[in-house]
Amino acid sequence: MTNSRLSGASSGRARQSKDTANRFDREENVGENICWGRNPVLSLLENDPSRCLKVTLSRTMQRSVQEKIIGLCRVSGIPFSMAEPKVIDSIVQGENHQGVSAVIASSGMISLADAAGLLPKPPSQTLAVLLDHVQDPHNLGAMIRSAEAASAAFVALPLRRSSLPTGTVVKTSAGASLRLPLAAVGNVATAANELKEAGLWVIGLDSSAKTSIYSQPLPDRTLFVVGGEGKGLGRTTTDACDETLRIPISGSTGSLNASVALAVAMFEWFRVHDIKRG
């Protein structure tokens, strides 16, 4: 289903704000593709749920419709939240939203199980990426672009408390987010453990880790896990990793931008295994 078939599809510009969290939220909503209205949102959830990234419902909307939408969200694992009508007014810029709006991905996301199915069987070399709540859409786009260039099989990310693969991400990734499979996950630590079962060695990138990424060759089958801006890897995510590695740097910066760190790590893996293939 394309955006043009959803009455109420729109695109706008994200406004700048001094509050980083609010800016990220606006870029995921006002600045990207939005579907609104009861029938369009229900159609999206019933016919193309993989493109629905999150839903916002009015606290005052008709209870039966509210419960139906919430039920469809739960079936497909789509995040939803309740808000005052004026919040949705702001999201859809004054259109008649009938109490509901949804953020639409530029392309559908796949399940983690389907992503794991894309991996070549051991002992073949493979690379994949798991993101731990990256919130800046520009960082997300840069990560996806680098992942495609480094021959990653897929990028997995949670839909809650994360940037979503909408228009800004497509542009920043130079279209890579439309080509590289993107997998939606619920719990990041659980996803890491599931990908271990698929035969990947899980490496968390952590600037405070004791071991350098250059200390030994990276495994043939590697999953890099990257934390969000400022916070890094969560504790449960770190616990789920087979090991954590740091990228040595000099100067007073302290750590690399998350997208830069991931690119450095992936291309170190690519360098080593490209030599093996060569």
Average pLDDT for 254-262: 86
Q: 180-217: per-residue pLDDT in tens?
A: 999 989 899 999 999 999 999 999 999 888 999 999 89
d(CA 150, CA 259): 13
SS3 of 20-61: HHHHHHHHHCCCCCEEECHHHHHHHHHHCHHHEEEEEEECCC
Q: What's the mean pLDDT in 12-26?
A: 38
Q: Provide mean pLDDT across the span 235-240.
A: 92
- State pLDDT tens for residues 22-48: 444 444 444 457 888 888 888 888 877
* Helices and strands per DSSP (H, E), number in the chain: 11, 11
Q: What is the percentage of the chain residues whose pLDDT exceeds 70?
A: 85
Cα separation, 126 vs 221, whole angstroms = 5
**Residue 2 predicted with pLDDT over 60:** no
User: Exposed e or buried b for every residue in 101-116, given b needs 16+ CB within 10 A?
Assistant: bbbbbbeebbebeebb
Superfamily of domain 3-104: Ribosomal protein L30/S12 (3.30.1330.30)
**For residue range 103-162, what is the model confidence (pLDDT) as tens digits?**
887 777 889 999 999 999 988 999 999 999 888 888 998 999 999 999 999 999 987 777
Residue for token pair 């619920």: 186
For every residue of 97-147, DSSP letters joined together read: -TTEEEEE-SS--EEHHHHHHTSPPTTS-EEEEEEE----HHHHHHHHHHH
Domain boundaries, the chain: 3-104, 110-277
Q: What is the pLDDT of residue 32?
A: 54
Residue 269 has pLDDT above 70, yes or no: yes
Compute the Cα dihedral for 190, 195, 198, 203 and give only its sign.
negative
In 3-state terms the chain splits into helix, strand, coil percentages (rounded to 5) of 40, 20, 40
Q: Look up the CATH number of domain 110-277.
A: 3.40.1280.10
DSSP letter assigned to residue 10: B
Give the pLDDT band of residue 276 (cuts 50, 70, 90): low
User: How confident is the model over 166-175, as pLDDT tens digits?
Assistant: 667 777 888 7
- Pick from 88, 81, 78: which is nearest to 159 by CA? 78
Query: What is the reported pTM?
Result: 0.71
Phi, psi angles (nearest 5°) of residue 153: -75, -35
| 8 A C-beta contact, residue 17 and residue 26 | yes
Average pLDDT, the chain: 82
Same fold across 3-104 and 110-277: no
* pLDDT of the residue at 9: 39
- For the stretch 131-144, pLDDT in tens is 998 888 889 989 99
